[in-house]
Structure 1
Amino acid sequence: MKGKLLFMSIIIGGSLLSCNGTPEESNRARMDKNEIIGQANPVIENGIMTPEVLHSFGRVGSFEVSPDKTSLLYQVTYVSIPQNKSNSELFIMKSDGSEKRRLTVTNISESNPHWINKGKKIAFLGSETGSSQIWSMNPDGGGMTKLSDVDGDIEGFKFSPDETKVLFIKSVKSVDTASDRYSDLQKASGRVVDDLMYKHWDHWVESVPHPFVADVSGNKLTNIKDLLEGEPYEAPLAPFGGIEQLAWSPDSKIVAYTSKKKTGREYAESTNSDIYFYNFESGEVKNMTEGMMGYDINPTFSPDGTMLAWQSMERDGYEADKNRLFVMNLATGEKTDLTENFDNNCDTYIWGEDNSTIYMVSSVNGTSQIYSVTLATKEIKALTEGKHNYLSIALGADGIIASRQSMSQPTEIYSVNLNTGESTNITEENKHILDQLQMGEVEERWIETTDGKQMLTWVVYPPNFDPAKKYPALLYCQGGPQSSLDQFWSYRWNMQMMAANGYIVVAPNRRGVPGFGSEWLEQISGDYGGQNMKDYFSAIDAVAAEPFVDENRLGATGASYGGFSVYWLAGNHDGRFKAFFSHAGIFNLEAQYLETEEMFFANWDMGGPYWDKSNAVAQKTYANSPHLFVEKWDTPIMISHGELDYRILASQGMMAFNAAQMRDIPSRMLIFPDENHWIAKPQNGILFQREFFRWFDQWLK
C-alpha cells in the first residue's frame, strides 16, 4: 500500500506537531498522493441536512479506557466522497474529554486500539505493509513498531493479562478449490459445491476465522498456534462475530472462545454455538455450554476469575430468541440466568470490579439504556433514561464510559454518572456540524393497534415544522424482522435526512420488534403478512388523520424485511399510498426459501419449506408472498438491490421490477453490482439518497 504511518500528535482543531524531529512537510510528503481523509468541515447555510452533510460526520468507533482509568483511546472513521473511500484514525484524550490528540494521520485505516504494557504502550491494527497486522506505538504517537508478520490479515486481537501472549483472529482456508483438485487448471474460476453454506451474506465460504495464540517475544510474535488447527469450524462466528467472542482468563491460562462446530447443512439449519475453554497447561478443550441449544456467545471472565458470563439464547434455530445473560460458577459448574425475570434482551455487558455486579445495555420501549444486574438477587435496575441508544460500555474512574447515539445525533462517547444517570459528551467529534443543523422533533407516540394493544411509534417532524401546513409522510418499515427500531442513527435510513427533505416520518415498532417483551417479539414468526401489517396500517392511519398530514401524499419504504413489507403493502394497501421504495426486499417467499443461506432463519420465521402441505404455518406464510398480489399493484414503485447480496438475492428485486414493468406500473430500479445487503461505498450511498428523494419527490410533491 502507498503511504507511511506518521508518528505525530495532533490537537484537534490545532496545528500538526512533528515527532522525533520530523518536519510536517516531510511527513506529508511520505503520504499517499491523495489528500488525507480526515475531519470534514462543511458550511451549512440553511441548517438542512443533505446526503453530502450526512457523509461528513466523523464516525466514532471502538474505544478503550486506560488501565489507570485516566485516559481513553478511540477510533474515528472519516469518509471522502471524491475518493469514494473511508479512513479510520486513532485518537487519545483524558477521560474527561480534555487534551484530545490525533495519533495517526494516514489513508490506510488504523483500528482496534488497545492499551498494553500497563498503559505505557498502545497496540492497534494497521496495514502499512499491505496486510492488517498488529503494531505498537507510544501514547504520543511515536515509536511505532510492527509486532506481527503473519500471512493474511489479522482481524482482531487481545493480549493476555500478563502480556506474555496475544490472541488474534485470522481466516484459514476451509475448502478445496478447482485449482487445488486439478493442477492443470490453475486459472479455472468455477466452484464445486457439495453441501449447503457455500455462501454467506456477501461472500463465498472458502475460509473460516480461527483463533490463534502466539508468544510475545520482545517486538515479535513466536510459537504461533491455531487453537482449532485442522478443524473446519468458525471461531468467532462469521461474518459478524469479532474479538468480543474470545476472552482470556485473568491468570492467562485459559482462552474462552465462541464456536458453532458444524459445517454444511448442519450449520445452515442450526444456531447452536457454544463456549469452549482451551487450557494452555493441559492442552484440553472443554465445551462449557454443552446441552444449551441456542446461540451462546461473548464469554467474559469475572475480574477474580471465579465466574464466567456470556449471552445465551435458549432455542436452536431461532436467531431472534431472547438474548439472556448467564453466569457460571467455575468451581461448581452451576449456571444461572440473571435475566429470567427480565423480558428483554441483554445486548452487551461488562463486569463490575466487585465481581458481584454486571452492567448491561438493553433495548426497552424504543431506547437502549444501561442497567445494573446484581448477581446475588438478580435485581435489574435501569441506570439511565432518555431518548437515545447506548451502544458499548466500559468502566471509567467514576462511572461508565459509553458510546451513544440517537435519531438526531451520530455516535459519540459519553461519561455516565451511575448515581444520577447524567451523561457528558466527551468526544464532541461532530459538534461543529450539529451546531449548524436544524433537527426535526422526534416524538414518542403510542398508537392503539387493531387488537387493542399500545404500539410505540416514532414520528419525526421536518425542521421548522409548521402545523398550519400539510406535509407528505413516509411510513418506515423496519427490517430484521426482529431488529430494534429504537433511537438508532443510520447513514442510509436516516430519519432526520427524510425529515429534512420535507417529510413527516412514521416509524412504528410493529409486532416482531424487540424491546417490548417476548410475546410482542415472537408474534411475527410464522405470521408474515399478518398482524404486523395491520400494525403498519394503524400507525400510518393515525398520523395521516392529523390536519398537518396530506393523506393523499403518503409513501412507504424499508429494507430487507422492510422491503418485503413494502412489496406486500403494494398489493394490499387499499389506496393509502401514492409511492413505494423497497431495498433488498423479499418478493417471492418460495424462491427466497431456496435462495437464502441460513436455513434456520427460513425454517423458523417462515415455518418451513413451501412443499410441506401439511404444515399450516408454512402454508400461511407462502400464501402471503408479495408476488401473489401483483395483480392488485396500482402504485408507482422503486426498487434497489445489491448484486453481492447473498442473503436476499438481487433476483428478488429484479422480479419485482419486471412485474411492475409488465403491469405498466410506473417503476424504477437501482442496482448496485458492487454492494451487498447494505450500501457501503460513499458514492453509492450518495447515489442511493439522491435517487430515493428524486423518486418520492416526483410522486409525493
Structure 2
Amino acid sequence: MKRYSPFLFRFLPALLFIGLLSTAVSHPSATLQLQAQHAGLSAEDVVAVRTVSAAVMSPDGRHVAYTVTRPPLEDADRARSTVELFIVAAGGGDPVPVITHPQSASAPQWLPDGRLAFTARLTDHSNQVQVYAVNAAAENLEKLTNAETGVMQFAVSADGSTLIYRSRDAETEEQRQRRSLGYDMMVFSDAPRAIRLFAQPLDTPESRALTPDGWLVQDFAVSPNGDEAIVRKTTNPLADYDLMFSELHRVNLNTGAHSLLTETAGKLGAIRYSPDGAQIAFLGAKVFSDPLPQRIFVLNRDGSNVRDITPDDYHGTIEWIGWKDNRNIWFTAVESTRTTLNEIAATGGRISRIAGGELEIFSGISPDARGRTFAAAVNQRTHPGEAFVGSFRNGTFTRLTHHNSWLSERSLGRQETVRWYASDGHWMEGVLVYPVGYEEGERYPLAVLPHGGPEGVDLDGWNTRALYPVHFLAANGYVVFMPNYRGSAGRGSWFTMANHRDLGGREFEDVLLGIDFLEDKGLIDPDRVGMSGTSYGGYFSAWAGTRHSYRFAAAITFAGLSNWISFTGTTDIPVEMMHTHWDLSIFDNMGQYWDRSPVAHLENARTPILVATGLADERVHPEQAIQLYNFLRLREVPTDLILYPRQPHGLLERAHQLDFMARVLDWFDTYLKD
C-alpha cells in the first residue's frame, strides 16, 4: 500500500489519549519472554537485523554499490533506522563505506565517468536531499545539485552531460508568511505544489524546469540520447490518483513540449527505453481492476504498436524489467514462493529462465554494460538481504557481504514451502516454519501470520521483522504459517483477481483449509491456533476472531480493517480498494461490505483480540482499531488497545517494535499455552 495524502486527523492523538488509553500504554509484565528459548532469535535480535535493500553493478562489472538499513542498536528517544551506503569489489573483499550512520543515502547509480552518484541529506552541504557523487574508492565527494526543496529522483543522460531530476516547487513567500502566522489549513480543493522534472548540465549548478505547473511527476525514464523522457504524472496529490489514474507522457528535454504517450488503464510500474531509444517497455495492469502492474507492455517511441507481451499462461508476478538489447527484455518475477530472472523477446513469445527459482530471493537486478554479470540484493531462509553477484551465463549467485554474521550463532526453525488444495480444486501454497527444537509427533500451538495487500505474498526466504516476528515465535515454541491465499501475488493476474467480489470469503477459506492441512500432518493442536497480521492481514485477524471465532483461540490485529463501510470513508485509497480488491463499488452493494466487516459478527465472538495501530496511519485510520476495541469491550470479549504515537502504516521506532513483539508473545502465550 502506497504513499502520500494529506493528514486528515492530526487532532486524534490528543483526543484519544484522554481516558481511552489508561491501560493501553502500560507495559507487558516483567515476566514477558523477550529473550527466546533454545538460543533462537530474540526480540532484540529482530530489531538488530541489517538488510541490504539495493545493489548496483558498475558498468565495467568491477564494483557493486549497495545500501544497507542500519537499525538503532540501543534505546533512544524515537530511534529510527538509517540507510548506509557502501562500495565493494565485485570479486569480493571488504566493503568501503561511503555514507554511514547517522547520515542516510539512497538511490545509488553509476555515472558514465565511473563515479557513483546517490541522494542524501548531508547537512554540512545542504539542508535538503541533493545528488552527490564519489569515485569508486569512495573519495572526492561532490555535490551535484542545489534543488531548493530537494531531489526526489534522478537520472543522468547516457553521455554523462546532463542530470535530470524531479523536485517539488517551493512555497511562495506569501505562503511561507501565512503559514508562520498559523494559517496552515489543509484545503483539499487547493492546487498542490507541482512536482516538476528539471534538467541540469553537470558542469553548472543551474537547472531549468521541463514540465508545466499542475503536474505531479511520479516517475520518469530518460531516452539513451538524452533528448526526451517518458514521465508518469498525475494532477491530484491523493494516493488514489497516483495508484489508479496516472498517465504516461513524452517530454522533450530541450523544449519542454509534451504529449500523451498512450492510453493506459489502472496501475503502472517501471518504464524503460530500449538501448537504441526506438522502443519503450513499461509494467502495467492487465485491466483497470488488476491489483498489480504485473504485465510487460512494449510500444514504439511514438506511442504506436502497443502490445502486452506477457503470455496469458504465465503464472508469475513481474516486478522489474530491463532491456538486454534492442530485441529482448530481461525481467524478474515472483513465481509462487520463489523469485526468478527471465528473458522474453520484445515481440512476445516463449519465456526463458536465466536464474532463480531456488533459495535466492530477489526483486530486481543491476546488470553490467556487457550483460555478463549482475548485482542483486538477495535474502534466503537463513539471512536477510545481502549483496550478491549473479552470472547470466550459468545463473549462479555469489555472496559478497555478511552484515549479520552473528545470525550463525542463533538456532532458526526449519522452513519449507507447503501446498494444499482449496475447495474448488486450486492448489494453494504458503511458507511454514517449525519451532526451534521441533520433535516429531508433538503437536504445537500455531501462529498464522497472513500477509497484507491482499496482493502481498510471502516468499520462502527471510520473513522476520517486528510486525511479523516469524523466527522469534518459532524460538518460543510456535509453528508459524504464512499462507498465500487467493488474491496474493506470485501466480499471475488471474490469481490476484481471484478474490474479487468475495473479500473474506473463499480467500479466508483457503487459510482455514491450510490449517486443516497442518492438523492432518500432525504438526499442530487445532485448539491452540492464533492469528496475527498487519493491514489486510490485520483484517484477516479481526475476521478470524469474530466471524470465525470458533476456530481461533487468540487473534492480534495491527492496522487492520474492522468495518468496510467506515474504512472506505476514511482511507486514502477508497478507489483502489473498491476497484482492484473488491471489484465492486460500495454504492452498488453496501450490504456485502457490511456483511464482510468483523464488527458485523460480534454476536458469536469469543476470541481474545489484541488491537493495535499507529496514530499517524493514513491508510487504515486509527478509528478502525478504536471501534473494534470498543465493540469487543462492550461485548465483554477479552481485548486491549495499543495506540503507537507518531507511527504510520507500520512501526518505525525501536521501542515500539520491541513493545509490540513483547505483547504478541504475551498474548499468544496467555491464550495458546496457559
| TM-score normalised by L of structure 2 | 0.87
Q: Provide the rounded CA distance (Å) in 2 between the counterparts of 1:331 and 1:700.
A: 62
Deviation readout 1:261-298 (Å, 9 max, x if unpaired): 45679x65971322222112343212112x22223332
Q: Provide the rounded CA distance (Å) in 1 between the counterparts of 2:359 and 2:269.
A: 29
Counterparts in 2 of 1:552 and 1:260: CA distance versus 1, 3 Å? same
Consecutive unaligned residues in structure 2, runs of 5 or more = 1-34
Which residue matches 1:251?
225
Which residue matches 1:417?
391
The secondary structure found in structure 2 opposite 1:433 is helix
Which residue matches 1:564?
539
Counterparts in 2 of 1:77 and 1:624: CA distance versus 1, 3 Å? closer
Q: CA deviation at 1:156?
A: 2.5
Q: Which sits farther off after the overlay, 186-195 or 559-568?
A: 186-195
Q: Provide the rounded CA distance (Å) in 2 between the counterparts of 1:399 and 1:443.
A: 29
Identity %: 21
Q: Provide the rounded CA distance (Å) in 2 between the counterparts of 1:381 and 1:304.
A: 23
Counterparts in 2 of 1:104 and 1:586: CA distance versus 1, 3 Å? closer
Q: Which sits farther off after the overlay, 361-370 or 318-327?
A: 318-327
Give yes or no for the alignment of 1:130 onto 2:130.
no
Which residue matches 2:553?
578
Q: CA deviation at 1:672?
A: 0.9
Does the 8 Å CA contact 2:220/2:230 hold for their aligned counterparts?
A: yes
Q: Provide the rounded CA distance (Å) in 2 between the counterparts of 1:215 and 1:554.
A: 61
Q: CA deviation at 1:332?
A: 7.8
State the one-letter code of the partner of 1:165.
Answer: T
Q: CA deviation at 1:105?
A: 4.0
- The one of 82, 99, 108 equivalent to 2:75 is 82
1:168-567 correspondence to structure 2 within 5 Å: 168-172=165-169, 180=175, 186-194=181-189, 207=193, 209-217=195-203, 220-222=204-206, 224-231=207-214, 233-236=215-218, 245-262=219-236, 268=241, 271-289=244-262, 291-316=263-288, 318=289, 320-321=291-292, 323-330=294-301, 333-341=304-312, 342-352=314-324, 354-383=325-354, 384-396=356-368, 398-430=372-404, 432-487=405-460, 489-492=463-466, 493-567=468-542
Consecutive unaligned residues in structure 1, runs of 5 or more = 1-42, 196-204, 237-244
Which residue matches 2:106?
111
The secondary structure found in structure 2 opposite 1:391 is coil
Does the 8 Å CA contact 1:315/1:321 hold for their aligned counterparts?
A: no
Which residue matches 2:53?
61
Which residue matches 1:71?
63
Q: CA deviation at 1:387?
A: 3.4
Q: Provide the rounded CA distance (Å) in 1 between the counterparts of 2:659 and 2:559.
A: 16
Give yes or no for the alignment of 1:606 onto 2:578.
no
Q: CA deviation at 1:376?
A: 4.4
State the one-letter code of the partner of 1:635.
Answer: T
Does the 8 Å CA contact 2:562/2:628 hold for their aligned counterparts?
A: yes
Q: Provide the rounded CA distance (Å) in 2 between the counterparts of 1:62 and 1:319.
A: 27
Q: CA deviation at 1:256?
A: 1.8
Does the 8 Å CA contact 1:269/1:599 hold for their aligned counterparts?
A: no
Counterparts in 2 of 1:565 and 1:686: CA distance versus 1, 3 Å? same
Q: CA deviation at 1:212?
A: 1.9
Counterparts in 2 of 1:369 and 1:184: CA distance versus 1, 3 Å? closer
Does the 8 Å CA contact 2:420/2:429 hold for their aligned counterparts?
A: yes
The secondary structure found in structure 2 opposite 1:445 is strand
Which residue matches 1:36?
none
Deviation readout 1:495-542 (Å, 9 max, x if unpaired): 223212221012221111122243332121211221112111101122
Q: CA deviation at 1:60?
A: 1.0
State the one-letter code of the partner of 1:499.
Answer: A
Does the 8 Å CA contact 2:317/2:491 hold for their aligned counterparts?
A: no
The secondary structure found in structure 2 opposite 1:401 is strand
Q: CA deviation at 1:180?
A: 4.3
Q: Provide the rounded CA distance (Å) in 1 between the counterparts of 2:429 and 2:556.
A: 23
Which residue matches 2:92?
97
Q: Provide the rounded CA distance (Å) in 1 between the counterparts of 2:266 and 2:80.
A: 38
The secondary structure found in structure 2 opposite 1:632 is coil
Q: Which sits farther off after the overlay, 629-638 or 542-551?
A: 542-551
Counterparts in 2 of 1:693 and 1:331: CA distance versus 1, 3 Å? same
Give yes or no for the alignment of 1:679 onto 2:655.
no
Deviation readout 1:624-649 (Å, 9 max, x if unpaired): 21111011111111011011111110
- The one of 40, 43, 49 equivalent to 1:48 is 40
Q: CA deviation at 1:169?
A: 2.4
Which residue matches 2:5?
none
Deviation readout 1:179-216 (Å, 9 max, x if unpaired): 84995982234333448xxxxxxxxx965543222222
State the one-letter code of the partner of 1:108.
Answer: Q
Q: Provide the rounded CA distance (Å) in 1 between the counterparts of 2:52 and 2:180.
A: 46
State the one-letter code of the partner of 2:55.
Answer: F
State the one-letter code of the partner of 1:221.
Answer: P
Counterparts in 2 of 1:215 and 1:181: CA distance versus 1, 3 Å? closer
The secondary structure found in structure 2 opposite 1:694 is helix
1:609-688 correspondence to structure 2 within 5 Å: 609-610=585-586, 612=587, 615-616=588-589, 618-688=590-660
Deviation readout 1:558-598 (Å, 9 max, x if unpaired): 11111111111212325221110011111111111111122
Counterparts in 2 of 1:281 and 1:183: CA distance versus 1, 3 Å? closer
Does the 8 Å CA contact 2:342/2:353 hold for their aligned counterparts?
A: yes
Q: Provide the rounded CA distance (Å) in 2 between the counterparts of 1:351 and 1:127.
A: 34
Counterparts in 2 of 1:61 and 1:444: CA distance versus 1, 3 Å? closer
Does the 8 Å CA contact 2:69/2:82 hold for their aligned counterparts?
A: yes
Does the 8 Å CA contact 1:275/1:299 hold for their aligned counterparts?
A: no
Counterparts in 2 of 1:637 and 1:453: CA distance versus 1, 3 Å? same
Counterparts in 2 of 1:631 and 1:115: CA distance versus 1, 3 Å? same
Q: Provide the rounded CA distance (Å) in 1 between the counterparts of 2:479 and 2:409.
A: 21
The secondary structure found in structure 2 opposite 1:698 is helix
Q: Provide the rounded CA distance (Å) in 1 between the counterparts of 2:180 and 2:48.
A: 47
Does the 8 Å CA contact 1:273/1:297 hold for their aligned counterparts?
A: no
Counterparts in 2 of 1:257 and 1:462: CA distance versus 1, 3 Å? same
Counterparts in 2 of 1:207 and 1:442: CA distance versus 1, 3 Å? farther
Q: Provide the rounded CA distance (Å) in 2 between the counterparts of 1:44 and 1:695.
A: 15
Which residue matches 2:4?
none
The secondary structure found in structure 2 opposite 1:85 is coil
The secondary structure found in structure 1 opposite 2:662 is helix
Q: Provide the rounded CA distance (Å) in 2 between the counterparts of 1:545 and 1:332.
A: 55
Which residue matches 1:20?
none
Q: CA deviation at 1:325?
A: 0.7
